[in-house]
Amino acid sequence: MRKPFCLSRCLIAVVALTAFCLPCRAQGNLRTVLFVKVKVDQVDNWKAAVKDYAALVKKAGSEQAYTVWESETGPSEYAVVWYSVKWKDIGEDNPKLKPSAADLAGIFSRLNGQTDSMEMWIDEMQPDLTFRSKEIPSMVRTGRSRIVQGKMDEVKALFHDQIVPAVKKSGATDYGVAVARFGTPTNEIHSYIGLSGWGDLDAPIGAEKGMSAAEWKAFQAKLPTLIESTEWTIWKYQPDLSYIPAAK
């Protein structure tokens, strides 16, 4: 998708930015994920502009947090993630940034010139299928699952009754499930599990680790009738590009 909207509008019009699709220190259950592909020769300049933006919102005393994640697999891209309480919040400007409008315009002019393309997703987190720790994981594995038409309720029940309990039993500290609302087909579920690093993948993780061999085999046998496909991606947290306000 080639620049479908202005980057400045996407990043200024945030009310409850926070961690990625990854994990949430949520101030709301509506999660917006802005996927950004940067021009190959502009990555360093783009990162510098994002850092300048973070410094500006910090100076302004903004309470709006956001996190940035870099894809470790698949296309080279970044994800900026925020959460909102209400739908109207997604389109509202941050009043604390109004005095810095001129500086913001300069930063976003740089960002727009350095960006190749963007894509926006809006999901609805499922609180009963989500748990988190106090720390943002250094990495996450995300899942994009396409659900068989008419089977969404059954899949949600499967997450509630089998997957989430098994993930908790596995010892995972961060896990979340969201249902797609805009930007992707609405018969998709987007999930994440926190990782400490690549070494976690040397052994089973998540539901597979939390189930016995027989339980995992039976669980796998159910999936073809419920889920068309699942795409896994690894993301790495970029703290120097993110903004998390100090706790009060």
pLDDT in tens, 114-172: 999 999 999 999 999 999 998 999 999 999 999 999 999 999 999 999 999 999 999 99
Q: Give a yes or no: residue 60 inside a domain.
A: yes
Looking at the structure, tell me whether residues 26 and 96 fall in a common domain. yes
Give residues with Cβ within 8 angstroms of 149, minimum separation 6.
187
Reported as a pLDDT band with limits 50, 70 and 90, residue 96 is: confident
Q: Is the pLDDT of residue 103 over 60?
A: yes
| pLDDT score for 248 | 62
The amino acid at residue 169 is K
Reported as a pLDDT band with limits 50, 70 and 90, residue 175 is: very high
Three state DSSP letters for the chain: CCCCCCHHHHHHCCCCECCCCCCCCCCCCEEEEEEEEECHHHHHHHHHHHHHHHHHHHHCCCCCCEEEEEECCCCCCEEEEEEECCHHHHCCCCHHHHHHHHHHHHHHHHHHHHEEEEEEEEEEECHHHCECCCCCCCEEEEEEEEECCCCHHHHHHHHHHHHHHHHHHHCCCCEEEEEEEECCCCCEEEEEEEECCHHHHHCCCHHHHHCCHHHHHHHHHHHHHCEEEEEEEEEEECHHHCECCCCC
CATH number at residue 138: 3.30.70.100
**pTM attached to this predicted model:** 0.87
Looking at the structure, tell me whether residues 90 and 107 fall in a common domain. yes
State how far the Cα of 159 lies from the Cα of 79, in Å rounded to an integer. Answer: 25
Last residue of a domain, one of 95, 125, 155: 125
Q: Which residue has the higher pLDDT, 57 or 227?
A: 227
| pLDDT score for 117 | 96
Q: Which of 71-80, 83-92, 171-180 has the lowest mean pLDDT?
A: 83-92
Q: Give a yes or no: residue 2 inside a domain.
A: no
| pLDDT score for 114 | 96
Looking at the structure, tell me whether residues 11 and 112 fall in a common domain. yes
The amino acid at residue 16 is A
| pLDDT score for 137 | 96
Q: Give a yes or no: residue 247 inside a domain.
A: no
Q: Which residue has the higher pLDDT, 161 or 57?
A: 161
Reported as a pLDDT band with limits 50, 70 and 90, residue 20 is: very low
Looking at the structure, tell me whether residues 56 and 18 fall in a common domain. yes
Looking at the structure, tell me whether residues 155 and 222 fall in a common domain. yes
| pLDDT score for 1 | 37
Looking at the structure, tell me whether residues 159 and 212 fall in a common domain. yes
| pLDDT score for 74 | 84
The amino acid at residue 144 is R
Looking at the structure, tell me whether residues 17 and 30 fall in a common domain. yes
Quote the domain boundaries for residue 222: 127-235
| pLDDT score for 75 | 87
The amino acid at residue 52 is D
Reported as a pLDDT band with limits 50, 70 and 90, residue 27 is: low
| pLDDT score for 24 | 41
Q: What's the mean pLDDT in 181-209?
A: 98
Reported as a pLDDT band with limits 50, 70 and 90, residue 43 is: very high
Q: What's the total number of domains in the chain? A: 2
Give residues with Cβ within 8 angstroms of 88, minimum separation 6.
none
On average, the pLDDT of the chain sits at 88
Looking at the structure, tell me whether residues 115 and 185 fall in a common domain. no
